[in-house]
Amino acid sequence: MNRTAAWITLATNCLLALPACSAPMPAQSVDRPTAVSMTGTAAELERGSSGAAAVIDDTPAGRAFAASLPLTIDVGDSFGLALVGPLPSAPSVNGLVRSTQFTLGEIAYAPDSGSLAVFYDDHGASVAPPGVVRLGVVTDGLHAVATASGPVTIRLAG
Protein backbone atom coordinates (compact mmCIF):
# COMPACT_ATOMS: atom_id res chain seq x y z
CA MET A 1 0.00 0.00 0.00
CA ASN A 2 1.46 3.37 -0.92
CA ARG A 3 1.86 6.14 1.63
CA THR A 4 -1.18 8.13 0.48
CA ALA A 5 -3.46 5.08 0.65
CA ALA A 6 -2.12 4.26 4.13
CA TRP A 7 -2.82 7.80 5.32
CA ILE A 8 -6.33 7.79 3.85
CA THR A 9 -7.03 4.41 5.46
CA LEU A 10 -5.88 5.68 8.86
CA ALA A 11 -7.91 8.88 8.60
CA THR A 12 -11.06 7.07 7.46
CA ASN A 13 -10.68 4.55 10.25
CA CYS A 14 -10.56 7.38 12.77
CA LEU A 15 -13.89 8.74 11.51
CA LEU A 16 -15.76 5.47 11.01
CA ALA A 17 -14.53 3.39 13.90
CA LEU A 18 -14.69 5.64 16.93
CA PRO A 19 -15.63 3.48 19.89
CA ALA A 20 -19.01 4.15 21.47
CA CYS A 21 -19.29 4.00 25.24
CA SER A 22 -22.55 2.04 25.18
CA ALA A 23 -22.04 -0.01 22.03
CA PRO A 24 -23.68 -3.44 21.91
CA MET A 25 -21.57 -6.53 21.53
CA PRO A 26 -19.79 -6.23 18.18
CA ALA A 27 -20.88 -8.39 15.30
CA GLN A 28 -18.40 -10.74 13.66
CA SER A 29 -15.77 -8.98 11.53
CA VAL A 30 -14.79 -10.60 8.23
CA ASP A 31 -13.51 -9.65 4.82
CA ARG A 32 -16.38 -9.40 2.35
CA PRO A 33 -16.26 -11.25 -0.95
CA THR A 34 -16.01 -9.04 -4.01
CA ALA A 35 -19.37 -10.18 -5.42
CA VAL A 36 -22.17 -7.85 -4.35
CA SER A 37 -25.87 -8.69 -4.42
CA MET A 38 -28.21 -6.10 -5.91
CA THR A 39 -31.50 -7.56 -4.72
CA GLY A 40 -33.59 -5.53 -2.35
CA THR A 41 -35.68 -2.37 -2.22
CA ALA A 42 -35.25 0.45 -4.73
CA ALA A 43 -34.30 3.78 -3.18
CA GLU A 44 -33.25 7.26 -4.25
CA LEU A 45 -30.57 9.57 -2.89
CA GLU A 46 -30.80 13.31 -3.44
CA ARG A 47 -28.17 15.94 -2.71
CA GLY A 48 -28.73 19.46 -3.96
CA SER A 49 -30.06 19.14 -7.50
CA SER A 50 -28.36 15.76 -8.05
CA GLY A 51 -29.91 12.36 -7.65
CA ALA A 52 -28.81 8.74 -7.56
CA ALA A 53 -30.53 5.35 -7.65
CA ALA A 54 -29.79 2.75 -4.99
CA VAL A 55 -30.83 -0.68 -3.80
CA ILE A 56 -31.32 -1.27 -0.07
CA ASP A 57 -30.28 -4.84 0.77
CA ASP A 58 -32.86 -7.45 1.71
CA THR A 59 -31.11 -8.20 5.02
CA PRO A 60 -32.21 -7.55 8.60
CA ALA A 61 -30.12 -4.35 8.77
CA GLY A 62 -31.20 -3.27 5.27
CA ARG A 63 -34.88 -3.81 6.06
CA ALA A 64 -34.55 -1.86 9.34
CA PHE A 65 -32.83 0.97 7.46
CA ALA A 66 -35.50 0.96 4.70
CA ALA A 67 -38.21 1.17 7.39
CA SER A 68 -36.61 4.40 8.69
CA LEU A 69 -36.82 6.14 5.29
CA PRO A 70 -37.26 8.86 4.25
CA LEU A 71 -34.52 10.65 6.11
CA THR A 72 -32.16 13.53 5.55
CA ILE A 73 -28.59 13.34 6.83
CA ASP A 74 -26.07 16.15 7.13
CA VAL A 75 -22.94 14.67 5.58
CA GLY A 76 -19.31 15.58 5.35
CA ASP A 77 -16.58 14.29 3.12
CA SER A 78 -14.37 11.64 4.70
CA PHE A 79 -10.96 12.11 3.08
CA GLY A 80 -12.17 11.72 -0.48
CA LEU A 81 -13.63 8.26 0.21
CA ALA A 82 -17.16 8.63 1.52
CA LEU A 83 -20.00 10.91 2.45
CA VAL A 84 -20.41 10.34 6.19
CA GLY A 85 -23.09 11.55 8.58
CA PRO A 86 -24.90 10.53 11.76
CA LEU A 87 -27.98 8.33 11.52
CA PRO A 88 -30.84 9.59 13.68
CA SER A 89 -31.72 6.02 14.70
CA ALA A 90 -29.45 3.02 14.51
CA PRO A 91 -30.43 -0.30 12.94
CA SER A 92 -29.68 -3.32 15.11
CA VAL A 93 -26.44 -5.04 14.18
CA ASN A 94 -26.57 -7.83 16.74
CA GLY A 95 -25.40 -11.02 15.08
CA LEU A 96 -24.71 -9.37 11.72
CA VAL A 97 -21.45 -9.68 9.84
CA ARG A 98 -19.27 -6.58 9.68
CA SER A 99 -16.60 -6.04 7.09
CA THR A 100 -13.41 -4.02 6.94
CA GLN A 101 -13.71 -3.95 3.14
CA PHE A 102 -16.17 -1.84 1.18
CA THR A 103 -17.13 -1.52 -2.47
CA LEU A 104 -17.57 1.55 -4.62
CA GLY A 105 -21.11 2.86 -4.12
CA GLU A 106 -21.71 0.88 -0.94
CA ILE A 107 -24.06 2.33 1.65
CA ALA A 108 -22.90 1.15 5.06
CA TYR A 109 -23.51 1.71 8.74
CA ALA A 110 -20.62 2.16 11.18
CA PRO A 111 -22.16 1.07 14.50
CA ASP A 112 -19.28 2.28 16.66
CA SER A 113 -19.77 5.88 15.55
CA GLY A 114 -23.48 5.74 14.64
CA SER A 115 -22.63 6.98 11.14
CA LEU A 116 -23.93 6.23 7.69
CA ALA A 117 -21.32 6.15 4.92
CA VAL A 118 -21.78 6.26 1.16
CA PHE A 119 -18.45 5.19 -0.34
CA TYR A 120 -17.71 7.00 -3.60
CA ASP A 121 -14.02 6.09 -3.95
CA ASP A 122 -11.80 3.43 -2.50
CA HIS A 123 -8.14 4.40 -3.05
CA GLY A 124 -7.36 0.82 -2.00
CA ALA A 125 -8.45 1.69 1.54
CA SER A 126 -10.35 -0.24 4.18
CA VAL A 127 -12.00 0.60 7.50
CA ALA A 128 -10.75 -0.45 10.92
CA PRO A 129 -12.07 -3.54 12.65
CA PRO A 130 -14.69 -4.37 13.65
CA GLY A 131 -15.83 -2.75 10.38
CA VAL A 132 -19.12 -1.61 8.87
CA VAL A 133 -22.46 -3.26 8.13
CA ARG A 134 -23.58 -3.06 4.52
CA LEU A 135 -27.07 -1.60 4.02
CA GLY A 136 -27.18 -1.27 0.24
CA VAL A 137 -25.47 0.10 -2.84
CA VAL A 138 -25.80 3.10 -5.15
CA THR A 139 -26.44 1.74 -8.63
CA ASP A 140 -26.49 4.94 -10.71
CA GLY A 141 -25.56 8.60 -10.17
CA LEU A 142 -22.92 8.11 -7.49
CA HIS A 143 -20.51 10.74 -8.86
CA ALA A 144 -23.26 13.37 -9.15
CA VAL A 145 -24.33 12.93 -5.52
CA ALA A 146 -20.74 12.76 -4.26
CA THR A 147 -19.77 16.04 -5.93
CA ALA A 148 -22.94 17.98 -5.05
CA SER A 149 -23.29 19.95 -1.83
CA GLY A 150 -25.69 19.88 1.07
CA PRO A 151 -27.37 17.14 3.09
CA VAL A 152 -28.32 13.79 1.56
CA THR A 153 -31.97 12.76 1.49
CA ILE A 154 -32.66 9.05 1.11
CA ARG A 155 -36.14 7.74 0.31
CA LEU A 156 -37.75 4.65 -1.10
CA ALA A 157 -38.21 4.89 -4.87
CA GLY A 158 -41.64 5.27 -6.36
| DSSP-assigned letters across all residues of 19-46 | PPTTPPPPPPEEPPPS-----EEEEEEE
Which amino acid is residue 109, in one-letter code?
Answer: Y
pLDDT tens profile 93-110? 777 889 999 999 999 999
**Considering the chain, what is the average pLDDT of its residues?**
79
- Mean pLDDT within 19-29: 33
- The domains located in the chain, with CATH, are 3-19+31-156 (2.40.100.20)
- Mean pLDDT within 65-81: 92
Name the phi and psi angles at 49, rounded to 5. -95, 10
CB contact at 8 A, 36 and 137: yes
Q: pTM for the complete prediction?
A: 0.76
pLDDT tens profile 124-154? 788 889 899 999 999 999 999 999 999 999 9
- Which of residues 6 and 151 earns the better pLDDT score? 151
